[in-house]
Structure 1
């Protein structure tokens, strides 16, 4: 008997739950000490689609039940794993998934299909035909995917969508790369930074990359574990926001706290029983400005700060 787990998928920036990946796990036995060995065995049989259909049925059935028992929102999204070899199974029949969803009152917009990472797709023409069929039934693809992070012994690498298609789309690209390790098309020297790095520092590193990698994602880690990724566009927008925030709170000429911060700090001090305030001013500064001009006056202010 398979046990079904609902693994939450979180937005690392907002903390919101995007949905749940449904995982079906067999009981541990001498023949199958772990789930991986069990699914590898299934993949080498002629019952891939039969078992896939069974897993899909219990997954959707148990998910429908969980909407009530766990009080998940009715529009909760689920992620279902698909074995690539299901496409080559002679028992594969179109339309079964949409019928199953309809029977439980669920919509295609609530389902995301994931190809299991343990197997490769070999017949891409047939695979695309199956995807087109799913799209025609209301299932959605993800055209906004920019890249994929690859975890390996050497750390975190990156495969950008645009570069992948550039390599595959060459005259011999398909025959050269398909069915071979992903390391041939990934960037093992991707920009990887710690999540505690300052936004402005990361933006300098990103902009100083080679022209070929300039628009690649920046990978974020925390304690050497992949934490997330950010596009160069979002990074530059964040830098602009930081500078705008600084312009509000800081004096542009001196870089020292501006009137807003001073006012807030004084208000906090007034709540205390004892405090001290030191006020510093430049004597005869107006006369200096009148005599030597505003530019020299600015230099004098900067020199004193």
Structure 2
């Protein structure tokens, strides 16, 4: 039994902590496993040093015991918002919210909104992370409360998924935007097949439900590589960044692992959603509903409009649902002088113009049935750029698949000459710097003659794999690999390290090509004229053409330059690359 004086002293110190606001927030980065950038931060509460409440666990347990959890969490939210370190409007701030606070009568949306506006943030920057200090008892009430928050633009995350049945029930009932996978499932996942199979289920489920996964507690490089390879969207842990009051910088070594293992489209014909965008009418969020109704009546072909605030999309209004709102007996008089943000969909599908069409299609078709045909909003650097309909998206995917099947190289499955020319032309039109790597095998005819066509086909496939793997390691998400024909390939990249890319291609090729010699020691090969060449087998020649948007580059100039570089490379015995800027 604790002494009463000790209890009184402890209560006094806790009360002082609340009254004088002695707690503060630190921020742990959450990293994208597609591009290695900081997606957002989780705000974590810390108590005053050398205090019995320095540990957040002790502090929150005491608050719950004393019935003061709501007061403490409200202060923690305010401190998290006050000290936030978000670097741009696309980053998110994850704020912890215990499930029992949802039922506290003092928990009202207005308080959080006031704090956000005071410090220059909006609900779209905030994700409420539901923690399970105790399980949710009334899911129907929790759904209503969270729906109210979602309507304002907040997003929801469920914490500790995989740690117990209650978190799985919370996912099913609350349908969050993010699921945070518990450390217990992540630890040593590269060594544990059972954990891997469980996480694969989460990945598949998340894709179908348009939910993003965040892996927590990553402490090993091997865990990072495995999670990236499996298609988990985001990661958090001491390996990537400890909680701090300053912004995080991802180590280049960790970025390289993410680039190497991330799921990429390789050489497939991937379109950006920005290629499909069309103009759409926009209204500021404080526009009167009567003005929007007048627009729809005068523009019968308009199926929807986008609601913006300071050029950034914040909502969507589809024609059919708009007029359903106004269909009641007193609806016109009730809504006519209200602003459009009171009835807009505050959580539409918003994607950046660089997002792959295939990914947008997965997200769009996994929406609730009554939102399935809603417009997809497309942004450029966070600002409104246009929209795409679900019909346009699905038609484009069908066309790409049919075109790919018709003209792809039957051996490697890579795009052929038509797609290569189209891709180079697109890069030239965009007028951004890019690099073309022309790859060619040396002494491949000798190999084919000696080991046979079947072995030769295997080496061609191996070369295609090497180029795609190198692009995955040193390239960027929309890089391209094509198969010109025979033993000739082209890679197109916007990497900042084109020379390292070529070196990686050569390293990977040389390190594995020996397996194609059936254990034989190759001392020399024969050139096309039948002359012996003192070299240990097939090698790789690369021609690197670095294209600047400042020059009058063309496909013809790129081809001529690559041909000149190829001639130099062929005169060298061994795998090598030559480069030139144009």
TM-score range, shorter chain: 0.5 to 0.7
Distance across 1 between alignment mates of 2:263 and 2:54: 48
Q: What does residue 289 of structure 1 align with? A: none
Unaligned runs of 5+ in 2: 1-21, 174-181, 208-212, 233-261, 269-407, 415-438, 442-452, 461-485, 490-538, 544-564, 576-582
CA contact (8 A) 1:9 1:18 kept: yes
Q: What does residue 17 of structure 1 align with? A: 38
Unaligned runs of 5+ in 1: 169-182, 195-204, 278-305
Question: Given the superposition, is the C-alpha separation of residues 151 and 13 from structure 1 closer, same or farther in structure 2, using an over 3 Å criterion?
Answer: farther
Distance across 2 between alignment mates of 1:36 and 1:3: 14
1:125 to 123, 131, 140: 140
What's the CA shift for 1:43?
2.0
Q: What does residue 106 of structure 1 align with? A: 121
Distance across 1 between alignment mates of 2:121 and 2:202: 42
2:93 to 54, 61, 78: 78
Question: Given the superposition, is the C-alpha separation of residues 3 and 14 from structure 1 closer, same or farther in structure 2, using an over 3 Å criterion?
Answer: same
Q: What does residue 230 of structure 1 align with? A: 231
Question: Given the superposition, is the C-alpha separation of residues 18 and 236 from structure 1 closer, same or farther in structure 2, using an over 3 Å criterion?
Answer: closer
What are the within-5 Å matches in structure 2 for residues 5-154 of structure 1? Answer: 5-29=26-50, 31-32=52-53, 34-63=55-84, 66=85, 72-141=87-156, 150=162
SS at match of 1:92: coil
SS at match of 2:41: strand
Question: Given the superposition, is the C-alpha separation of residues 240 and 217 from structure 1 closer, same or farther in structure 2, using an over 3 Å criterion?
Answer: farther
CA contact (8 A) 2:99 2:132 kept: no
Question: Given the superposition, is the C-alpha separation of residues 216 and 160 from structure 1 closer, same or farther in structure 2, using an over 3 Å criterion?
Answer: farther
Q: What does residue 259 of structure 1 align with? A: 487
Q: Which has the higher contact order (CA 8 A, sep 6+)?
A: 2
What's the CA shift for 1:108?
0.9
Distance across 1 between alignment mates of 2:223 and 2:540: 42
What's the CA shift for 1:8?
1.1
What's the CA shift for 1:14?
1.3
What's the CA shift for 1:237?
8.1
What's the CA shift for 1:216?
5.5
What's the CA shift for 1:92?
2.7
Which stretches of structure 1, 4 residues or longer, exceed 6 Å deviation after superposition? 159-162, 217-221, 249-253
What's the CA shift for 1:61?
1.6
Question: Given the superposition, is the C-alpha separation of residues 98 and 260 from structure 1 closer, same or farther in structure 2, using an over 3 Å criterion?
Answer: same
Question: Given the superposition, is the C-alpha separation of residues 58 and 160 from structure 1 closer, same or farther in structure 2, using an over 3 Å criterion?
Answer: closer
Q: 1:15-66 CA distances to partner (integer Å, 9 max, x unpaired)?
A: 0111111112113446346221211111222222222221111221222xx4
CA contact (8 A) 1:217 1:230 kept: no
